[in-house]
A and B are shown apart, each in its own frame.
Chain A
Amino acid sequence: MILKIQNLSCRRGDRLLFENLDFQIQSGELLFIEGHNGCGKTTLLKTLVTLRRPDAGVVLWDKQSIFKLADEYRQNLVWLGHYNGLKGDLTALENLRIASVLNGIDASEEALWDALKTIGLYGFEDLPTTVLSQGQKRRAALSYLLLTKAPLWILDEPFSALDVRAVDMLQAIIAGHVEQGGMVILTTHQEVPLTSGQVKRLKLAA
């Protein structure tokens, strides 16, 4: 499995964010995307998850365009954006259950409970997520990472709002995924230490 980006250019309105971007990432690799605010990190990630079309260039998943593969590509994908993707009126458990069904994961009730326990929401699973703190909401969104089997994780600022312990835990989860042959692309100011696997960096300059 290789995700390959060739000659990618994106505009936002009249402004050119980046052009002729080339890179690739394969199993067992972690890619940091760096750059100052407004340089197009989120736009790039949204393009990689097919939420946005590039203005020029191609994104290939195993040599086929991700926009042609469409649903077939999306099955390999986990996306966590700025929004947590949680319904405020539903509990963390209900949110996680819906996410699992939407992504075809046949998770048992115990698996869902375990995921929430591991992520540190034990005792909060029955509260509507709207009353949780920002960090707890982020944790609720991240709990899905513990259930998914998808190889390619694309995470936009996954560490935002998390406390030190949660940051450590998320680093371990990401490192574990890479070491098992997964791929992770993320934007962050927080490093993820890896014991095996490879770290790549991409600097966007606008």
Chain B
Amino acid sequence: MFTVFKTILGRDLTLAMRRKTDILTTFFFFVIVISIFPLGVGFDKAMLQKMAPGIAWIAALLASMIALERLFASDYEDGTLEQMLLSHQPLIIIVLAKVFAHWLLTGLPLVLIAPLAGLQYHLSGDEVGIMMLTLLLGTPILSLLGAIGAALTLGLRGGGVLISVLILPLYVPILIYGAGAVSTSMEAGSNVQAYLLLLGAFLILALFFTPWATAAALRIASE
């Protein structure tokens, strides 16, 4: 079972390395969204600090969303998804491997680039640390939840837009607690532990339940 996980993970990472534009698009999308906000709203330090958590998190939501469309679509188009659905291995393991690969390629880079956002928005080192931590806990949830939407919209025209309509509402709790943690950390004497614990709990829940939903959605989409 672990071999299957490793093989599918390796497969998706290799594919991404041979077609780098897909990953770079997400990455630069995030960087650009973060960078144009100060141009639009002005460079007032206090205001930027206040807006930073929300903007960084919304940019992360959108970036993870645009990458989702390709999660299963290319496998669907060339028939490899059919082969996975009929393989002798549990579909849930395959789904988990694909989602993990997706997160490594689109979620993790956002965590690593977060300090850049911190610089632009005058955040202190501690606040950047909290932002990275919440993104580290939160972006896997985005990938896991998003996979359900990506599976449900397979084979539909305009699937990309539909994913956003289906999945963005589900992202709301993650946005609230993720951005909330960073905002709270800016107040003196505050404690963000509760936010992090809640995000962690969300992550565990998503890890257990979403692969089943995604697998079921893939079976429906293949009909």
Q: Do B11 and A79 have beta carbons less than 8 Å apart?
A: no
Which B residues touch A101, using CB under 8 A? Answer: 3-4, 7, 89
Q: What interface size band does chain A fall in? A: 20 to 34
Closest Cβ neighbor of B3 among chain A residues: A101
Q: Do B90 and A71 have beta carbons less than 8 Å apart?
A: yes
Q: Mark B85-108, 1 if CB is under 8 A from A, else 0.
A: 111111000100000000000000
Within 8 A of B (CB), among A94-114: 94, 97-99, 101-104
Q: Do A87 and B15 have beta carbons less than 8 Å apart?
A: yes
Q: Do B79 and A84 have beta carbons less than 8 Å apart?
A: yes
B44 within 8 A of A: no
Within 8 A of A (CB), among B16-60: 18-19
Q: Do A90 and B223 have beta carbons less than 8 Å apart?
A: no
Report A8 CB to chain B, min CB distance, Å. 16
Q: Do B78 and A85 have beta carbons less than 8 Å apart?
A: yes
Total A-B contacts with CB atoms under 8 angstroms apart: 75
Report B187 CB to chain A, min CB distance, Å. 49
Q: Mark A57-95, 1 if CB is under 8 A from B, else 0.
A: 000000000000001001101010111111111100010
A50 within 8 A of B: yes
Q: Do B79 and A83 have beta carbons less than 8 Å apart?
A: yes
Which A residues touch B85, using CB under 8 A? Answer: 51
Q: Do A103 and B222 have beta carbons less than 8 Å apart?
A: no
Report B54 CB to chain A, min CB distance, Å. 38
Contact partner, A77, options B4, B11, B14, B86, Cβ 8 Å: B86
CA distance A45 to B222 in the complex (A): 14
Q: Do B78 and A87 have beta carbons less than 8 Å apart?
A: yes
Q: Do B80 and A86 have beta carbons less than 8 Å apart?
A: yes
Q: Do A75 and B88 have beta carbons less than 8 Å apart?
A: yes
Report B221 CB to chain A, min CB distance, Å. 11
Q: Do A94 and B222 have beta carbons less than 8 Å apart?
A: no
A52 within 8 A of B: yes
Question: Interface of chain A, helix or strand or loop or mixed?
Answer: loop
CA distance A86 to B83 in the complex (A): 9
Q: Do B15 and A102 have beta carbons less than 8 Å apart?
A: no
In the complex with contacts A94-B14, A101-B3, A85-B88 CB distance below 8 A: no
Q: Do A74 and B86 have beta carbons less than 8 Å apart?
A: yes
Q: Do A85 and B83 have beta carbons less than 8 Å apart?
A: yes
Q: Do B87 and A74 have beta carbons less than 8 Å apart?
A: yes
Q: Do B79 and A81 have beta carbons less than 8 Å apart?
A: yes
B126 within 8 A of A: no
CA distance A77 to B90 in the complex (A): 15
Within 8 A of A (CB), among B176-207: none
Which A residues touch B19, using CB under 8 A? Answer: 89
In the complex with contacts A90-B15, A102-B7, A83-B78 CB distance below 8 A: yes
Question: What are 6 A-B residue pairs whose CB atoms fall within 8 Å in the complex?
Answer: A51-B86, A79-B82, A84-B79, A85-B83, A89-B18, A102-B4
The 10 closest A-B pairs by CB, nearest first: A83-B79, A102-B87, A85-B79, A101-B7, A85-B83, A89-B18, A104-B88, A75-B88, A103-B88, A52-B223
A84-B79, A90-B11, A102-B83 given. 14 additional CB < 8 A pairs?
A50-B86, A51-B86, A52-B222, A74-B86, A74-B87, A86-B80, A87-B80, A88-B78, A89-B14, A89-B15, A94-B11, A101-B4, A102-B89, A104-B89
